[in-house]
Amino acid sequence: MRTIKGPGIFLAQFVGDQPPFDSLAAMARWASGLGFSAVQIPSWDRRLFDLRQAAESQDYCDEILGVLNRAGLALTELSTHLQGQLVASHPAYDVLLDGFAPPELKGDTKSRQAWAVQQLEWAAKASQRLGLQAHATFSGALAWPFFYPWPQRPAGLIEAAFTELGNRWLPILRRFDEAGVDLCFELHPGEDLHDGVTFERFLAAVDEHPRANILYDPSHMVLQQLDYLAFLDLYHDRVRAFHVKDAEFQLNGRSGVYGGYQEWIDRPGRFRSLGDGQVDFTAIFSKMAQYDYPGWAVMEWECCLKHPEAGAAEGAAFIRSHIIRVTERAFDDFAGAPADAGRNRRILGLP
């Protein structure tokens, strides 16, 4: 067993145009001052990070690591959530997703998808240069508009979607394999990979590729009413990244898991700041220790009630209080005896 690394913080929800949220150096000092040990960097925001330059220049990557090191921080992973969404997107979302890519690609779905693939390839190389073991992303969605089986889906529709999804991601997975980096898909509603079953479909479509792994975020499982602890029992060997995010689901008589098109604050399932929701993090961190999770515990803040800076200020201490320093020996070692084959046979009554 190993002790989980952390606490880290995902910077995406905090970036802004005002100090200290307008540069990596300032955000690093801010995060360090709150007690975080590391940051996860969104690769699409040029105020913090230049993905192409990181892919092409070791000097630039060393500079990024130096900025973090001077603040006493490590780098957990890079994130390409927005770019990953564009690797595979149903035409129903074309207009909505225009903002995820450069303005000059607006309305050009084919060029936008090619741009996204290039971004992921750069992310693989940048992660290698930065000495990272894992990368965080989304799968995108070809089948999501048809997640509910009405109108009745024609036979083979979902299979065709996952075959195409696998075809798009397999070359990217090969790039990450060449870089020695795990590609971790955040299982998330709105993505074709949103639960265990869809992840299994994807694994089949990419020939069980060893770099196809999971970013585990229990908050999305609460909102789907999925058993997030049993999930770890089933898929722990593929969990290579971890967002520590809280959520709650309040049963009522007006709406359920689909949310009734309501705003986040009115939905039965909604995200909360750490400690304000229903996620059993004590049990999660215990399973992470039990299954020898190799990565970081990274706070992601998406609360509809609490101010983000308040959530961040509370987050580092919350995560640190849940990290289990794993034992190096059994509690009853004091009563043990050295191995002795003959003695063992005598205990069993054998000649």
Q: How confident is the model at residue 338 (pLDDT cuts 50, 70, 90)?
A: confident
Annotate 32-42 with b (16+ C-beta within 10 A) or e (fewer): bebebbbbbbb
Report the interhelical angle of 196-205 vs 228-235 (nearest 10°).
30
pLDDT at site 323:
97
Token output for 142? 């070809």
The label of the residue with tokens 């849940």 reads: 322
pLDDT tens per residue, range 46-105: 999 999 999 999 999 999 999 999 999 999 999 999 999 999 999 999 999 999 999 999
151 contacts: CB under 8 Å, gap ≥ 6: none
Token output for 61? 């990557």
Q: Is the peptide bond before 7 cis (omega within 30 degrees of 0)?
A: yes
pLDDT tens per residue, range 177-224: 999 999 999 999 999 999 999 999 999 999 999 999 999 999 999 999
- Within 13 Å and on the Cβ side, how many CA atoms surround 187? 32
**Contact call for residues 169 and 87 (beta carbons, < 8 A):** yes
Q: How confident is the model at residue 171 (pLDDT cuts 50, 70, 90)?
A: very high
pLDDT tens per residue, range 36-53: 999 999 999 999 999 999
136 contacts: CB under 8 Å, gap ≥ 6: 40, 77, 78, 79, 80, 81, 184, 186, 215, 241
pLDDT higher than threshold 70 for residue 291: yes
Distance from C-alpha of 149 to C-alpha of 190, rounded to nearest angstrom: 16
Q: How confident is the model at residue 328 (pLDDT cuts 50, 70, 90)?
A: confident
pLDDT higher than threshold 70 for residue 332: no
For the chain, the domain total comes to: 1
pLDDT tens per residue, range 104-139: 999 999 999 999 999 999 999 999 999 999 999 999
pLDDT higher than threshold 70 for residue 335: no
Query: For the domain that residue 185 is a member of, what is the CATH number?
Result: 3.20.20.150
Q: Which domain holds residue 15?
A: 5-347
